[in-house]
Structure 1
Amino acid sequence: MSRHERKEAAIRRLLESAPAPVPPELCGDAVRRGTRMLRRRTALRRLFWVLLFAAAVAFVVWASLARPWVEPPSNTTPPLTRW
């Protein structure tokens, strides 16, 4: 018998045997834990979107006040007067 055949036989024995008993409270615990995880994930997702929206609003307000696209006046040379 090769190693592969031994592994296959062991797996077949495991699959054909009766499943291990499951505690009755396991389902309720899993549902509670899953509900809690879902609530946390939803809250984090909402917090992320609120922070993203606040950052976008802050950027728009800053850009409208600072106007970074306008070139600042040049103060390095004096203005030309009479020649």
Structure 2
Amino acid sequence: MQPWPSAHILWNGATLKILAARAIPGSAAPGRVIAHAAGAAISTGQDWLLLEVVQPAGKRAMPIQDFLNGNAGFLGSDLTGRT
């Protein structure tokens, strides 16, 4: 059990926990994963959520750059479930 709230997303049928992130200015369709100089960001429809540390299901926590090295298909994903 975790003593504080956390966020997660569903990507490729698996949970990806977001352990560290921050809001940055920007706009795009909600749920889109975009490339950013610092790694990856998710559009919220109003701003972007810049991912910093994530934890794939059953794996250790890692910086977003490490996650992207093994999961290049994450960039450009649509997390809304629409195609």
Same fold by TM (over 0.5)? no
TM-score by length of 2: 0.15
Which structure is higher in RCO with an 8 Å CA cutoff and minimum separation 6? 2
TM-score by length of 1: 0.15
Which structure shows the bigger proportion of residues in helix conformation? 1
Kindly name which structure, 1 or 2, has the bigger radius of gyration based on alpha carbons.
1
Which structure shows the bigger proportion of residues in strand conformation? 2
